[in-house]
Amino acid sequence: MNRFSRITIFSSLLSGAFCPLAGYAQDSGKAEEIIAASRAATGGANWDQIKTWQETGKIIQGGLEGTYQVWADFPSVLAADMFRLGPVKGSAGWNGKESWTTDSGDQLRIETSRASIANAIKFAYKGMYTFYFPNRYPAELKYVNSVYRRSGQK
């Protein structure tokens, strides 16, 4: 197991009326069971067929409209995302060894800070649902019973 293969499941992320797993997460207390239920509910064994993923869409932010595109290579955990929002564009990704970004001028920057590398790896691992593939991507799973409360609640 490498230093990046730790996944924590927070019950606060799986709570609320909109989430069918809310009660399940709080009752079982087991990260593996929560992940297995989520995988089953979203396609089950069909996840094993995915090799690459491309997602495109439209974004609106700050009165500007634009587009985005995400590419993912599931077996290698490689990821890239690109966006164009009005006059601004950029991209970011993880190539398995380096974290990188581009800016509106298409200037490539290899990110070297520990934080940027960790964020790129986290984006790739979470974006490719690596936790659905415990045999392919061994990880330490930990359930943390974290309760979200609004201000003023006990």
Domains and CATH numbers, the chain: 6-144 (2.50.20)
Q: What is the CA radius of gyration of the chain?
A: 18
Q: Are 147 and 11 in contact (CB under 8 A)?
A: yes
Phi-psi region of 77 (alpha: psi -120 to 50; beta: other; left: phi over 0): left
Which pTM value belongs to this model? 0.66
How far apart, in whole angstroms, are the C-alpha atoms of residue 107 and residue 143? 41
Per-residue pLDDT tens over the stretch 11-42: 334 444 444 454 444 444 578 888 999 999 99
Q: Are 138 and 5 in contact (CB under 8 A)?
A: yes
Per-residue pLDDT tens over the stretch 33-73: 889 999 999 999 999 999 999 999 999 999 999 999 999 99
Give the per-residue pLDDT at 152.
55
Q: Which two tokens stand for residue 54?
A: 């491309």
Q: Which two tokens stand for residue 96?
A: 């398995």
Give the per-residue pLDDT at 146.
59
